[in-house]
């Protein structure tokens, strides 16, 4: 082999080696995040994901779905887990941890976070807090000279027959509603029967749809089919910012807290980027984006929000006024409750 050919061969080999290494590095930089759909997915894709990709050079794949769907997806993939980070409601997150789907958190400084952020699992963290309450179409109420709703019991009023929309019980907002009706009628998480009875006899006749999908929920309001419902403060805030005349109400009996939580998933060879992404979600500037885009009260104590962004959010001391539900009891009974809901309520 003459020197010219040998030099060309060496150069080609070097280029090929570099491309192989680059391809390997690129594969290591991929991160799959599972989280909510709707306006939450839009915020993640437009603001949070690009910021993380720019900072780390990673490529994030986002898998949208509600909490129960994403937990089911993680279980189905257990032998070959594709998801690296899961963002789900706090109740399903406790289930995910119990099922061994999450791995130990690393690098999260809980001293910088409000106590609500610590889920006491060592494997998951609350990244934002919303309240479950009432949503109503203010223009409809004003035009019809109706007073704004103030109570969970307002959903029983016959004037809202087939104008009420509530997520089903396998959704945290719907679950919270059942728990609140149980508590207000002599029961609670350990005696859910009164909640089912109220839904079956008094609330159910007014329900237009038990709607789990955020996009469909907003469509029902925009079309005028629904004028009142149960939803989260964050969802209502984002909906209102589109210009539609909706308002969120904290019922006088109180609003249950819903924690948006994150965990790095358990995998044989987890990506270090999973831990970095969870840490990234807790940074004050990202918490502010999360608050504005998802309507979630921030858990990082250093996060400051403008008055416009903070309006309607659990923020600072307001977080302590939310009602905590008994997730241990709920999760132990949730499958049975969901089955009962399908049989008795959403037939």
pLDDT of 98 higher than 90: yes
pLDDT of 199 higher than 80: yes
pLDDT of 17 higher than 50: no
Q: What pLDDT sits at residue 9?
A: 43
pLDDT of 48 higher than 90: yes
Classify burial at 329, counting beta carbons within 10 Å of its beta carbon; exposed 0-12, middle 13-18, buried 19 or more.
middle
Q: What pLDDT sits at residue 23?
A: 40
Reduced to 3 states (helix: H, G, I; strand: E, B; else coil), residue 171 is coil
pLDDT digits (tens, 9 = 90+) for 305-323: 999 898 878 888 888 788 8
Q: What pLDDT sits at residue 238?
A: 87
pLDDT digits (tens, 9 = 90+) for 139-176: 999 999 999 999 999 999 999 999 999 999 999 999 99
Average pLDDT, the chain: 91
Can you tell me the mean pLDDT for 298-305? 94
CA 149 to chain centre: 25
Q: What pLDDT sits at residue 26?
A: 42
> Which of 19-23, 168-172, 220-224, 234-238 is predicted least confidently?
19-23
Q: For helices 172-183 and 327-344, what crossing angle results, to 10°?
A: 100
Domains of the chain and any CATH numbers: 8-129+259-315 (3.40.190.10), 130-257+326-344 (3.40.190.10)
Can you tell me the mean pLDDT for 208-224? 96
Burial string for 242-275 (b: 16+ CB within 10 Å, else e) reads eeeebbbbbbeebbbbbbbbbbbbbbeebbebbb
Whole-number percent of the chain with pLDDT over 90: 80
For the entire predicted model, the pTM comes to 0.76
Three state DSSP letters for 177-215: HHHHHHHCCCCECCECHHHHHHHHHHHHHHEEEECCCHH
Can you tell me the mean pLDDT for 10-15? 43
Please give the torsion angle defined by the CA atoms of residues 239, 228, 131 and 265, in that order, rounded to the nearest 10 degrees: -70
Q: What pLDDT sits at residue 311?
A: 84
């Amino acid at each position: 082999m003459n020197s010219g050919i040998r030099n060309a061969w060496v150069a080609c080999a070097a280029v090929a080696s570099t491309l192989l290494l680059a391809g390997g590095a690129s594969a290591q930089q991929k991160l799959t995040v599972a989280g909510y759909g709707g306006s939450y997915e839009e915020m993640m894709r437009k603001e949070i994901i690009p910021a993380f990709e720019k900072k780390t050079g990673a490529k994030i794949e986002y898998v949208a779905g509600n909490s129960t769907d994403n937990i089911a997806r993680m279980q189905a993939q257990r032998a070959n887990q594709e998801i690296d980070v899961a963002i789900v409601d706090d109740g399903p997150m406790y289930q995910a941890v119990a099922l061994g789907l999450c791995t130990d958190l690393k690098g999260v400084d809980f001293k910088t976070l409000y106590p609500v952020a610590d889920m006491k699992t060592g494997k998951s963290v609350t990244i934002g807090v919303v309240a479950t309450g009432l949503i109503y179409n203010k223009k409809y109420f004003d035009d019809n000279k109706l007073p704004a709703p103030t109570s969970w019991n307002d959903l029983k009023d016959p004037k809202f027959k087939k104008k009420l929309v509530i997520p089903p019980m396998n959704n945290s907002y719907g679950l919270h509603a059942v728990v609140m009706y149980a508590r207000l009628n002599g029961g609670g998480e350990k005696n859910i029967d009164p909640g089912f009875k109220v839904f079956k006899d008094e609330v159910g006749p007014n329900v237009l749809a038990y709607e789990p999908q955020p996009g469909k929920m907003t469509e029902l309001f925009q079309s005028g089919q629904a004028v009142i419902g149960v939803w989260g403060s964050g969802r209502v805030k984002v909906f209102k910012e589109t210009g539609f005349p909706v308002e969120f109400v904290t019922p006088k009996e109180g609003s249950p807290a819903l924690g948006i939580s994150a965990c790095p998933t358990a995998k044989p060879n987890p990506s270090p980027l999973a831990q970095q992404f969870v840490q990234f979600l807790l940074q004050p500037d990202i918490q502010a984006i999360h608050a504005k885009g998802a309507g979630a009260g921030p858990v990082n104590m250093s996060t400051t929000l403008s008055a416009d962004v903070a309006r309607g959010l659990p923020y600072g001391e307001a977080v302590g006024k939310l009602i905590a539900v008994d997730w241990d009891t709920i999760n132990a009974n949730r499958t049975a409750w969901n089955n009962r809901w399908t049989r008795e309520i959403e037939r």
